Structure 1
Amino acid sequence: MPARRNDRPDWVNDRCVTLGHRIADLRRQAELSQEELAHLAGLERRSIQRYENARRDPRYSDLLLIAHALRVHVTDLLSS
């Protein structure tokens, strides 16, 4: 079985944190709770929470769903 890659460069971790903050900021601007965003995006609240806290990397499809729910372009999530 191949070794699992656990260590990522610091800059990758920093971008994940930035992404989480960006999702949270846009969610607050839209005046949505994590539960409401999750419902609109068709995801679990736990997933939104993990993405915002940079505990899990979102799939591209989840980013698209979140962006659609927030009524922004997916690149708005990724911009810093």
Structure 2
Amino acid sequence: MLHRRRVLGQRITDYRRAAGLSQDQLADAIGMERRSIQRYERAERDPRFSDLVRIADAIGVPLADLVR
């Protein structure tokens, strides 16, 4: 489980950076605190499904690519 969380966190980081967004910019775009983005990227928390959908939309990738 932790391995999957780490892989997801790394994907969020990679796609966010590829979209040219900082953690602050992503958080602002989806109405979330930067701390939450940090926790997801560091694999400290599992994101809720609704958060994953908003993150995928904001960084411009299909949800399936984010969570595959």
Task: State whether structure 2 residue 66 is matched by structure 1 residue 77.
Answer: yes
Distance of 2:31 and 2:60 partners within structure 1: 14
Alignment length (residue pairs): 68
Q: Secondary structure at the match of 2:21?
A: coil
What one-letter code is carried by the residue in structure 2 that aligns with 1:39? Answer: D
Does structure 2 conserve the Cα–Cα contact (< 8 Å) formed by 1:38 and 1:44?
yes
Aligned position for 2:23 = 34
Per the normalisation by structure 2, the TM-score is 0.96
Could you list the runs of 5+ residues in structure 1 that have no partner in the other structure? 1-11
Percent identity of paired positions between Structure 1 and Structure 2: 56
Structure 1 runs of 4+ aligned residues shifted over 3 Å read none
Letter in 1 for 2:11: R
Greater share of helix: 2
TM-score, normalization by structure 1: 0.82
Output the aligned Cα RMSD.
0.6
Candidates 11, 14, 32, aligned match of 1:22: 11
SS at match of 1:62: helix
